[in-house]
């Protein structure tokens, strides 16, 4: 059975390893099919694809798109993208464009909360001029000693309702799915267990995602408990959606699991790769 990992990040967004390093690590860890899915950017895909060729593993070009849905931020992973697709690139650029101004507002909010210099601080961790993310602020806050580890940052500062969080309008769900489909890809609702929607909200999100042409949901994710894996496998089936799997790896020492550290999909799941 092939080992799939269809969600991870490189230095082209908020990961710690260069695209080729991500691929080499995945190959070393026994991944047979890897998708690189940087936030709102496809800039690392050529390097990753070349490295995958050298390593002899299969590679799927991907991206993780930021979406605002009904007052929530959700993520939609596109898999099997043709990165030369003009509507996709225009869409990604429009999403990235908002990030710099948002980062300024995050820095202002942190200053209000007694943390000066966060803009320059976060900039030191940015590895792509095209993309600044909350992760870069988080690394600054940890290394500057304001919190002990990454997850504490999001428990104390950068998540909704906390000082250091600012609202932001990302793409719409319909736009994100449309750009992914225009590029010949499949659209996967990323880590649904992370969204604080309540049962009704999740039902509405899944129905709208499917009605707008969404293809799959990420069933296996380090964000999910065993009970959530079972729940999302069942929800995928009842909504006619395929199931995906991804480590959401960001780099050594960060996150819960390493590249490829995923169990097989639950029995009865339709694998997303059957739709690629
Ligand atoms: P952004 O797209 O700029 O809003 O940044 C979101 C990123 O922050 C995610 O992709 C994760 O890498 C990181 N993140 C969000 N919540 C957490 C958390 N609770 N613990 C660790 N990292 C997180
Ligand atoms: Mn991230
Ligand atoms: Mn995500
Ligand atoms: Mn991710």
Separation of CA 17 and ligand 4 centre (Å): 14
Separation of CA 63 and ligand 3 centre (Å): 10
- Whether residue 128 is found in the same domain as residue 236: no
Please give the pLDDT value at position 89: 98
Tell the residue nearest (CA) to atom 21 of ligand 1: 151
Domain boundary among 131, 158, 185: 158
The answer to the question of residue 112 being in a domain is: yes
Tell the residue nearest (CA) to atom 20 of ligand 1: 151
Residue ranges in the chain modelled with pLDDT below 50? none
- Whether residue 79 is found in the same domain as residue 35: yes
pLDDT tens, 169-183?
999 999 999 999 999
pTM for the predicted model, two decimal places: 0.98
Please give the pLDDT value at position 198: 84
φ and ψ of 125, to 5 deg: -100, -5
CB 32 within 8 A of CB 260: no
The answer to the question of residue 167 being in a domain is: no
Nearest ligand 1 atom to the CA of 14 is 12
Query: From CA 166, how far away is CA 102, in angstroms rounded?
Result: 7
Pick the closest to residue 132 from 39, 242, 2, 49 (CA basis): 39
Separation of CA 134 and ligand 1 centre (Å): 6
- Whether residue 26 is found in the same domain as residue 74: yes
Please give the pLDDT value at position 96: 97
- Whether residue 97 is found in the same domain as residue 151: yes
- Whether residue 185 is found in the same domain as residue 255: yes
The answer to the question of residue 130 being in a domain is: yes
Please give the pLDDT value at position 222: 97
**Range of the structural domain that residue 121 is part of:** 93-158
Query: From CA 115, how far away is CA 232, in angstroms rounded?
Result: 39
Please give the pLDDT value at position 161: 95
- Whether residue 111 is found in the same domain as residue 180: no
Query: From CA 169, how far away is CA 69, in angstroms rounded?
Result: 9
Domain boundary among 132, 158, 184: 158
- Whether residue 69 is found in the same domain as residue 206: yes
The answer to the question of residue 168 being in a domain is: no
The answer to the question of residue 152 being in a domain is: yes
- Whether residue 192 is found in the same domain as residue 253: yes
Angle at 21 between CA 23 and CA 247, to 5 degrees: 55
Domain of 126: which CATH number? 1.10.150.650
Domain boundary among 133, 158, 183: 158
pLDDT tens, 208-229?
999 999 999 999 999 999 999 9
CB 177 within 8 A of CB 185: no
Partner residues linked to 153 by β-bridges: none
Please give the pLDDT value at position 152: 96
- Give, in order, the Cα–Cα distances in Å from 19 to each of 30, 38, 91: 17, 10, 22
- Whether residue 138 is found in the same domain as residue 271: no
Provide the number of structural domains found in the chain. Answer: 2
Please give the pLDDT value at position 199: 83
- Whether residue 134 is found in the same domain as residue 203: no
Partner residues linked to 64 by β-bridges: 39, 77
Ligand 1 and 103: CB distance under 6 A? no
- Whether residue 150 is found in the same domain as residue 184: no
């Amino acid at each position: 059975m092939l080992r799939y990992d269809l969600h991870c990040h490189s230095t082209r967004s908020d990961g710690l390893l260069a695209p080729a390093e991500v691929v080499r690590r995945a190959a070393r860890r026994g991944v047979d099919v890897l998708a690189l899915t940087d936030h709102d950017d496809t800039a690392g895909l050529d390097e990753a694809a070349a490295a995958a060729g050298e390593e002899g593993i299969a590679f799927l070009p991907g991206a993780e798109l930021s979406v605002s849905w009904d007052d929530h931020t959700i993520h939609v992973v596109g898999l099997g993208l043709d990165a030369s697709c003009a509507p996709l690139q225009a869409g990604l650029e429009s999403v990235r464009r908002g990030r710099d101004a948002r980062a300024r507002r995050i820095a202002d909010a942190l200053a209000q909360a007694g943390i000066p210099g966060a803009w320059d601080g976060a900039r030191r961790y940015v590895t792509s001029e095209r993309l600044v993310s909350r992760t870069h602020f988080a690394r600054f806050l940890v290394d500057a000693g304001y919190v002990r580890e990454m997850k504490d940052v999001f428990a104390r500062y950068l998540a909704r309702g906390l000082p250091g969080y600012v609202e932001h309008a990302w793409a719409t769900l319909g736009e994100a799915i449309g750009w992914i489909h225009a590029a010949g890809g499949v659209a996967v609702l990323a880590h649904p267990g992370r969204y604080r929607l309540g049962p009704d909200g999740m039902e509405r999100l899944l129905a709208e995602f499917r009605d707008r042409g969404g293809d799959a949901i990420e069933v296996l994710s380090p964000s999910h408990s065993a009970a959530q894996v079972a729940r999302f496998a069942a929800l995928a089936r009842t909504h006619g959606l395929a199931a995906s799997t991804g480590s959401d790896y960001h780099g050594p020492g960060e996150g819960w699991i390493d590249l490829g550290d995923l169990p097989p999909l639950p029995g009865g799941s339709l694998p997303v790769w059957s739709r690629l």
